[in-house]
Structure 1
């Protein structure tokens, strides 16, 4: 078409069509108008946890490669949703498949992000769990058996060997203590044929999913005996024994003459458990009660292994002694959907694409305060001595052009305080590493103080325990039950930051590698009811050791 024809054709167009700008012109105008807003958003709304643009782009690029099936061999267990393409959904048979997954998203999703368990699951443990679940459905809240048992309880007397027997768990202290004592109480229920019922105060509502299919473990709100218990309670087993309410020599007597329930006090006092807690003659008496109320802040599962009457059963369930909390914690403790949402968003947003994840958990013991500078020095000394983190250079210059893509190491800092994150982030943001690795540092929250009475605080704490458990390596603070729960769920032997010397407020050895993944029982059980009361159980039980972070504590190991 010549120019004259083109002009004529244009003149024949409707007026509206003549005014319509070309597509290229529209894009150009919109882009120019939006550019200042885009730049402003970039500088104002970057997340404080992002270590650098380069680091995030590398993480994003790896995630994209994994999503397309072209992931490098450095991250073989990752998929686009952060999990293993062939992950063990039922954890080797620990979990029952008889749940609606939507009611508890974490139950079958959590395993996607864990490293493979170092401990095979015993078929006998699987059998015991299925038997327990059937018993809980038969005796749990809402059943005729439960109503009959409560009626017997309210009658003011015990019953001769009832069809259903119960242990009521009362939570105390912080979340780490609660998780350790809940698992211990469940193990006790497995050994004694009791049904575990958990008191759920407001700060724990919905924190954990129901662990048993077709029933509930939540103690009904009208249960009358949940408060007022302490070491001196009249209903405590020790006081009953001292007041001759119960006696060792009437084991074959009429159980209906006993009080309607017994209170079993397992709260540590000056790092000791109460007398008569883990002696066989005492447990034969305790076994006559159909209702037990138990209050504990300890990982007393360790002490159950001291009792020959339980040892054979425990050996069949746990051929690997270091797997007790690892297996039972993964079976019993599933974050509710609110807490799990925090886990998924943070993991997938910040951690999933890294080549390696290092968890660093910092908890300052209130009885032994240490300055920030001293604690930070101990953390970095531990990380550098054991090559958990690369040392930095005195330059921030990037690697030479054409170099291989840098390995990305994501560091998850979990602490009530923000200072440890701030310092680590600043160091690795400002300086290049001697190895060429890119280190990104993240912290999900920093509440400053512990607020166990607040449900939202507990949800964040539970989410961070699980985020720590998705690490490849982990550094935790000695004596911290929060750290114990995280590394035990992970199946990782942690590097434990040791408590500082009281005189110098400095730890001569920054950290040690734990002998097992098991938590430590801080409160050594009293053995005064035995002839060998002064003997150290470690000298006589081959699978017990003293804890690395508490020389008189006890822990299981293989």
Structure 2
């Protein structure tokens, strides 16, 4: 029996998520709960009261010239397939370059990589290939081609600005012919919510040929590599114009309701409408894009707006498949619906500091294992919930693992049935990696296998952090990402329902996890996920597309057969993509 591993660290964090209980099945109750939660979280985040004097303020007394004209009929912008999307990206790049050579020279490329090192670019994928039981997601050549083309657009646009993106935005720059999407984060959101919201924003930016930028309030630049070769994605590091923090927001950003009024005037009034909207906030009070965002007609008008800002904490990627104008190209681009996995592994790579932690965990505890088991346990109400349910959770994890032949019974005489064909070595090596703020599961499993070790297996139990409290800062996020990706190297994954932390691990790893049944009144121990995709929590299930009568007031999932309700054990109100894997 190998020595059990526990590496105490000073990090204190917990997986992020949405409010832990829904007080009613009625939608109005959910709205109230989210609003109150957002207000509380918002008050906890540092605010910036002084607007930097170096940035020019727009004069509200001056009438700015129109940015674009809203036509009386929606422009057609549907992209039917991947070749058409690549052509659209190339066309946007050509327009932005204005005839300049866009070649990224070998010398410039080498210099950029020296300035932005990222070991994970070369080292992450091979570690998934080392798993001995689970089959990894197949490579996606179409996605790789699209992402490469998008990197070129991103680089050309940021270089064309030629200076400070914030100053370019604040002075309503229009010299590049580029359009931008800024992803912000609702105050108080944890790492999982932040990254899943940004993944959704990135896919939208690619579909609409926008330059994807992240606001400084995400705290993400410290934990992730620069994703776009030759470019940068950080926007507004000093919170000068980010809507949540900048006084005088109305001078820079218009809200979606005013935009829709202009769209309605053009479509219903029969006359083109001149618009001065330059920056548009697309999200609503639900911490996600509003209902009309998911309509083809409205999206055709969004294409006319130079800057769009989405401030969110929800993963809304699945519903992009519900937009008729996007659906054909998305189905061509991701026939297996593994969009989340491909986006995470391409654009959301851990920084070298985070990668060193991941590499250490993998080298010490996972690399030589015949079987890897990842377990993520979160007690959403903290110590109070832990004291009530931790014994229940331990019992159900053990029961689920034994029933599904994932872990051997204590004192077992042979190797567990599922892995007989792999047991070529005298002793089978199983590593169990646990991510939790509490050590009870680690201690219980450790004691079990020390006292009654299986005859033919070595079982190692590893947990690298404990802290009991969730914190929101850069250091917590770094360690959280290290453990998320370490969990994603598992062959078998157990996760806590309604946890974006566990969802990120299943997304990176392309895994179908088992949800631990943490309901005291339930008799089951666990339930297998129906998809690799993460649940889009609290979406609007009904189309609100007033100019598309075949969709308006229709149930979204009735129109898109691979969008399904999330499992009730995971989330009572949610939808997700059903992956083919």
The CA distance in 2 between the partners of 1:223 and 1:164, in whole Å, is 22
Aligned partners of 1:378 and 1:507 also within 8 Å:
no
The CA distance in 1 between the partners of 2:273 and 2:203, in whole Å, is 24
Q: What TM-score does the superposition give when structure 1 sets the normalisation length?
A: 0.72
Aligned to 1:468: 487
Aligned to 1:49: 6
Aligned to 2:204: 188
Cα shift readout 1:115-158 (whole Å, capped 9, x = no counterpart): 38644344332222122111111112xx34365976664346x9
- Where do residues 328-477 of structure 1 align in structure 2 (5 Å cutoff)? 328-366=343-381, 369=385, 371-393=389-411, 405-433=426-454, 436-452=456-472, 454-477=473-496
Aligned to 1:170: 184
The CA distance in 2 between the partners of 1:325 and 1:314, in whole Å, is 12
Task: Describe the SS at the equivalent of 1:371.
Answer: helix
Q: 1:470 to 1:455 in 2, by over 3 A?
A: same
- Where do residues 215-364 of structure 1 align in structure 2 (5 Å cutoff)? 215-221=231-237, 224-228=240-244, 235=253, 237-241=255-259, 244-247=261-264, 249=266, 257-265=275-283, 268=286, 274-321=290-337, 323-364=338-379
Aligned to 1:516: 531
The CA distance in 1 between the partners of 2:286 and 2:245, in whole Å, is 14
Rg bigger for which structure?
1
The CA distance in 1 between the partners of 2:265 and 2:273, in whole Å, is 13
Task: Describe the SS at the equivalent of 2:325.
Answer: helix
Cα shift readout 1:279-336 (whole Å, capped 9, x = no counterpart): 2232223222101111111111101000111111112211111x10110110011111
* Structure 1: gaps (5+ residues): 1-45, 51-95, 396-402
Q: 1:443 to 1:256 in 2, by over 3 A?
A: farther
Q: What TM-score does the superposition give when structure 2 sets the normalisation length?
A: 0.70
Aligned to 2:225: 209
Aligned to 2:522: 507
Task: State the Cα distance separating 1:507 from its structure 2 match.
Answer: 3.0
Task: State the Cα distance separating 1:277 from its structure 2 match.
Answer: 2.9
Task: State the Cα distance separating 1:209 from its structure 2 match.
Answer: 0.5
The CA distance in 2 between the partners of 1:484 and 1:107, in whole Å, is 22
Q: Structure 1 stretch 109-118 or stretch 221-230: which is displaced more?
A: 221-230
Q: 1:148 to 1:207 in 2, by over 3 A?
A: closer
Aligned partners of 1:406 and 1:437 also within 8 Å:
yes
The CA distance in 1 between the partners of 2:375 and 2:240, in whole Å, is 42
CA-based RMSD of the aligned residues comes to 3.3
User: Aligned residues, how many?
Assistant: 445
Larger RCO (CA within 8 A; separation ≥ 6) = 2
Structure 1 segments of 4 or more deviating over 6 A?
A: 251-256
User: Which one of the candidate residues 109, 115, 126 is aligned to 2:123?
Assistant: 109
Task: Describe the SS at the equivalent of 2:226.
Answer: coil
Cα shift readout 1:384-431 (whole Å, capped 9, x = no counterpart): 221111121499xxxxxxx97221111000011122212111211222
The CA distance in 2 between the partners of 1:380 and 1:444, in whole Å, is 20
The CA distance in 2 between the partners of 1:394 and 1:309, in whole Å, is 56
The CA distance in 2 between the partners of 1:541 and 1:445, in whole Å, is 41
Q: 1:491 to 1:266 in 2, by over 3 A?
A: farther
Q: 1:273 to 1:245 in 2, by over 3 A?
A: closer
